[in-house]
Structure 1
Amino acid sequence: MVYENFIFCLEGVPDIETNIDTETLQNLEHLAFEHQISSIYKNCDTIEGLEESLSALLYDDHHFKDYQIIYLVMPGQENNICLHDYYYSLEEIAELFEGKLKGKIVHFANKKVLDLTSEESQYFLDITGAKAISGYGIKEYNISSIHLDKFFFGLCEELDDVVEIVEELHQKNYALCKHLDFRLYY
């Protein structure tokens, strides 16, 4: 089976000068080999690095329209991310990428809790043009969300309707969805 969509993963790391083979990178490689879902991986340690990476993808990659999922693996809290000990709100992130994420699903790994009010999520979606924003209500240090993330990414390849994706995800992985408190705002 040939897939047409890709995942763009951006991982927050303490220092981009230090080359480390992260768990995220290893799991994305596994996703490509086992499930034929391609991805581009970048890391960043500052908000400027985040902006540069997404801008390069947007303006330099002729296949940007094929990236269905923007996968962010970054620490933070409910309505923010943390890079290099600085916190940036999702409102600030939305304004950086105003109108640039049309039709994309922005998905956060469980390194941060995603707990948005309906106004916060709607603002992010309206400003960026994203199709949905998803993540987890619980930051679980002992359990990585990568296994549920991989299943979620596979469903995003198969289905277009975000409600169907969430229903299927809960049907097949109810215990893990419940434990990590999977959330999707659309």
Structure 2
Amino acid sequence: MEIEKFIFCLEAVPDVDVDSTTEVVNTLEDIALNQGIASIYKTCDTIEGLEQSLNDLLYEDHNFKDYEIIYLVMSGEPNNVLLNDYYYSIEEIAEIFEGKMNGKVIHFANEKILDLTDEESQYFLDVTGARAISGYGAKQDAISSIATIDRVFFSLYQENDDFTEVVELMFQKHYNLCKLLDFRLYY
């Protein structure tokens, strides 16, 4: 029996009390319907909200082990996320996730640039326990990774655990988009 890899998506929004359907929600619903990949979607507007959502997933959801992809849709500067008008570095995010992401893939949408040195990526992986961290080295306002290449990544990873093969297939099938957005995977 094949083991499914679910997606836990956490999207930063200006105000969690304002109910709205975002591009992310629509795309995740489409991925569930057309690709058969289930997900949980949560929003956060503060760092405390991010921590609480993560803790709810870790300690309240008995299927946490099935969520292999932690999908973060957050704007910000390179290697920083913006929450409630404050920037948090990738190191601070690693400390929030400390020891909680064993075997998970942390994937950032192209709302922000992910440009880690070998030392920074290794620190993130060591502190969090994550299997990999991925994202994009270029932010193209006209192109959203959410509706395009992210779904390809999720689908290919659903079918194959070997990162090198997944990245190779992504570049074979969608070379121009991968190159334009500068897809990156650190493991």
Structure 1 residue 9: Cα displacement:
0.2
Match of 1:175 in 2: 176
Alpha-carbon spacing, 1:30–1:2, altered in 2? closer, same or farther (3 Å): farther
CA distance in 1: counterparts of 2:20 and 2:155, whole angstroms: 26
Q: Structure 1, residues 15-62: CA drift from partner, whole Å, max 9, x if none?
A: 111101000000000000000000000000000000000111011111
Moved more, 176-185 or 2-11: 2-11
Query: Structure 1: which 4+ aligned runs deviate by more than 4 Å?
Result: none
The code of the aligned residue for 2:177 comes to L
- Given that 1:9 and 1:72 are in contact with CA atoms closer than 8 Å, whether structure 2 keeps it comes out as yes
Moved more, 148-157 or 89-98: 89-98
CA distance in 2: counterparts of 1:78 and 1:102, whole angstroms: 24
SS at match of 2:69: strand
The code of the aligned residue for 2:176 comes to A
CA distance in 1: counterparts of 2:2 and 2:174, whole angstroms: 25
Match of 2:157 in 1: 156
Structure 1 residue 5: Cα displacement:
1.6
Match of 1:130 in 2: 130
- Given that 2:79 and 2:112 are in contact with CA atoms closer than 8 Å, whether structure 1 keeps it comes out as no
CA distance in 2: counterparts of 1:74 and 1:84, whole angstroms: 11
- Given that 1:102 and 1:130 are in contact with CA atoms closer than 8 Å, whether structure 2 keeps it comes out as yes
Matched, 1:113 2:129: no
CA distance in 2: counterparts of 1:128 and 1:119, whole angstroms: 14
- Given that 1:105 and 1:130 are in contact with CA atoms closer than 8 Å, whether structure 2 keeps it comes out as yes
SS at match of 2:71: strand
Which aligned pairs between 1:25-174 and structure 2 lie closer than 5 A? 25-146=25-146, 147-174=148-175
CA distance in 2: counterparts of 1:153 and 1:135, whole angstroms: 12
The alignment yields a C-alpha RMSD, in angstroms, of 1.1
Structure 1 residue 96: Cα displacement:
1.3
Moved more, 1-10 or 39-48: 1-10
Structure 1 residue 113: Cα displacement:
0.4
Alpha-carbon spacing, 1:3–1:24, altered in 2? closer, same or farther (3 Å): farther
- Given that 2:107 and 2:134 are in contact with CA atoms closer than 8 Å, whether structure 1 keeps it comes out as yes
Match of 1:5 in 2: 5
Q: Calculate percent identity across the aligned residue pairs.
A: 65
- Given that 1:79 and 1:114 are in contact with CA atoms closer than 8 Å, whether structure 2 keeps it comes out as yes
- Given that 1:3 and 1:37 are in contact with CA atoms closer than 8 Å, whether structure 2 keeps it comes out as no
Structure 1 residue 76: Cα displacement:
1.0
Relative to the length of structure 1, the TM-score reads 0.97
Unaligned runs of 5+ in 2: none
CA distance in 2: counterparts of 1:105 and 1:164, whole angstroms: 15
Q: Structure 1, residues 66-103: CA drift from partner, whole Å, max 9, x if none?
A: 00100000001221100011000111111111111011
